[in-house]
Amino acid sequence: MPSSDLKSSTIRSLFWKLFEQGGAAAITLVVQIVMARILAPDEFGMLAIMLVFVNVGNVIVQSGLNTAVIQAPDVTERDYSTVFWMSLAISVALYAAVFLAAPLIAGFYGMPGVVWPLRALVLILVVNAYNAIQEAIVARNLEFHKTFRSTVTAGVVSGCVSIASALLGAGIWALVIQQLLYQLCKCVVLAAQIPWKPRVVFDGARAATLFRFGWKLLVSGLLDQGYQSLSDLIIGKVFTSTDLGYVSQGKKYPQALGVTLDGAIQPVMLSAVAHVQEDRHQVKRLARRALKTSTFLIVPAMSAFGIVAAPLVTLLLGEKWLPCVPFLQMYCFIYALQPIHTTNLQVLNGVGRSDLFLRLEIIKKVVGVSVMCFTAFVLRDIFFIVVGYAVTGVICTFINASPNRRVIGYSYREQVRDICPAFLLSAVSGALAFPIGLLGLPDIAVVALQVLVMAVAYLAIARLFRVEELTYLLNTMRDIMGRRGR
């Protein structure tokens, strides 16, 4: 693909991905706020435990093969069908295993009410065996407008049905319905847009070729998801489902904001890097642009979210959720670092270095599990578990960045220099906005004024010092508007 065409396709895809993530996040936010007001913290804690098994299962079902399909230079219809049948067989086996183990899981956590909700929720694995191929096709072709339609439609449908279920007294089942219906609806809408349908073929040779790349990502994904889930499993066992509900709720909103911004940029970047993976200079240029742009957007957003956390939680969720505020603020810091992690890892995926990806995951998880076990079983404090997670996040920025110094010539020192403007601007604008919270104004006024002051200060200082990231974003917007005008 010519450089100019790649740039045009990448920018177009980026904005569609932003629309998708933004639309999904906005819908999810509204649904979660309503559901949090109707349901109790312990029901969200129960959902967090069930999602551990769904999320780990999803990693196994996809097996790194969807990324292998995106990254591979030559993919055929036979490859898509081959990967689908592999994923479907794995998903059915996993569903059967969790179905049988559900009573044991419920007994271990003292939650007898999760047996059938868990059995229903894990059906997501079967749906995602199909959905993974659909999304791989979209990503290969940079057609993210299709996932925009499916994601927004799924969010609206699942949100309306789950809220109605909660109001009718469905309890934990309302949360299960939301999760399951979201994935099912997304799959159906994508199927209406993508002509691909699985054929009854299986190419063993190609399966082996793709799996040689994908197995490393499978192990990496299991390590990462296992680590992410371990804190929920430990908190759910050592503490209470209510405590877990506060932690999961505190994580949910920063995570949604981070996924909206960083999650829009990074999948597009992976597809773009896969197109130019032989050109080291071009890959480095794409990586720098992705890191600088996502950091410039995410860091101030997380900073503002952390500053307004207490009045915003009271305003939207109610006072019963105030214990989640410290966790929410810590997760804002954790997700502010997300661009460093994802940019470096997507580079390795895009150039086909899944071996390095796996090596990094092993090192990070040894560090993370060590810190987590110390905070959970020695300090035995739920607050320090999340603090330990934040400390691990900082350490892992060094680990994730280390290979790219030799892979594409992008050192950690260069990366720190590229992200410094966003962190410095956020610190200054946050310091200007913080005193508003001390004036004793109503919560809605505090939130509005702090966000406004921080946004104006951030953009004004960036413009005053001619920060390159702002200039790039403004020029990109002008180019897009200019093309539409013509």
Q: SS3 letters for 333-386?
A: HHHHCHHHHHHHHHHHHHCCCHHHHHHHHHHHHHHHHHHHHHHHHHHCCHHHHH
3-class DSSP assignment, residue 412? helix
Query: Which pLDDT does position 1 carry in this prediction?
Result: 46
Query: Which pLDDT does position 433 carry in this prediction?
Result: 96
Query: Which pLDDT does position 42 carry in this prediction?
Result: 87
At residue 267 the predicted structure's pLDDT band, cuts being 50, 70 and 90, is low
What range defines the domain where residue 389 resides? 255-486
The span from the CA of 486 to the CA of 477, in Å, is: 14
- Comparing 239-248, 339-348, 349-358, the range with the smallest average pLDDT is 349-358
Domain membership of residue 206 (yes or no) is yes
My answer on whether 91 and 221 are in the same domain is yes
Residue range 27-33: mean pLDDT, rounded: 83
- Quickly list DSSP for 452-472: HHHHHHHHHHHHHTT-HHHHH
My answer on whether 359 and 428 are in the same domain is yes
**How is residue 296 written in tokens?**
């410039």
Q: Does the global pTM surpass 0.85?
A: no
CB atoms within 10 A of CB 315: 15
At residue 274 the predicted structure's pLDDT band, cuts being 50, 70 and 90, is low
Name residue, tokens 């105030």: 322
| Residue pair 300/429 in contact by the 8 Å Cβ criterion | yes
My answer on whether 186 and 312 are in the same domain is no
Q: What is the pLDDT of residues 75-110, one digit of tens each?
A: 778 888 888 898 899 899 999 999 999 999 999 888
My answer on whether 226 and 286 are in the same domain is no
Write the CA distances from 182 to 13, 128, 372, 426, 464, integer angstroms: 23, 11, 32, 35, 44
My answer on whether 337 and 225 are in the same domain is no
Q: Pick from 208, 238, 268: which residue ends a domain? A: 238
Using alpha carbons only, give the angle 425, 429, 430 rounded to the nearest 5 degrees.
Answer: 110
The span from the CA of 201 to the CA of 137, in Å, is: 18
Domain membership of residue 26 (yes or no) is no
My answer on whether 292 and 421 are in the same domain is yes
Domain membership of residue 15 (yes or no) is no
Residue 271 confidence (pLDDT) above 80: no
Domain membership of residue 244 (yes or no) is no
My answer on whether 207 and 87 are in the same domain is yes
Q: What is the mean pLDDT of the chain?
A: 84
Domain count, the chain: 2
**Sign (positive or negative) of CA dihedral 443, 447, 452, 453:** positive
Query: Which pLDDT does position 5 carry in this prediction?
Result: 53
What whole-number percentage of the chain has pLDDT above 90? 40
Query: Which pLDDT does position 86 carry in this prediction?
Result: 87
Domain membership of residue 27 (yes or no) is no
My answer on whether 230 and 174 are in the same domain is yes
Query: Which pLDDT does position 194 carry in this prediction?
Result: 85
At residue 212 the predicted structure's pLDDT band, cuts being 50, 70 and 90, is confident
At residue 66 the predicted structure's pLDDT band, cuts being 50, 70 and 90, is low
112 sits in which H/E element: none
| Residue pair 309/447 in contact by the 8 Å Cβ criterion | no
My answer on whether 283 and 218 are in the same domain is no
My answer on whether 212 and 144 are in the same domain is yes
Pick the closest to residue 260 from 9, 454, 17 (CA basis).
17
My answer on whether 177 and 60 are in the same domain is yes
Residue range 223-240: mean pLDDT, rounded: 82
Domain membership of residue 12 (yes or no) is no
My answer on whether 220 and 264 are in the same domain is no
- Comparing 107-111, 129-133, 269-273, the range with the smallest average pLDDT is 269-273
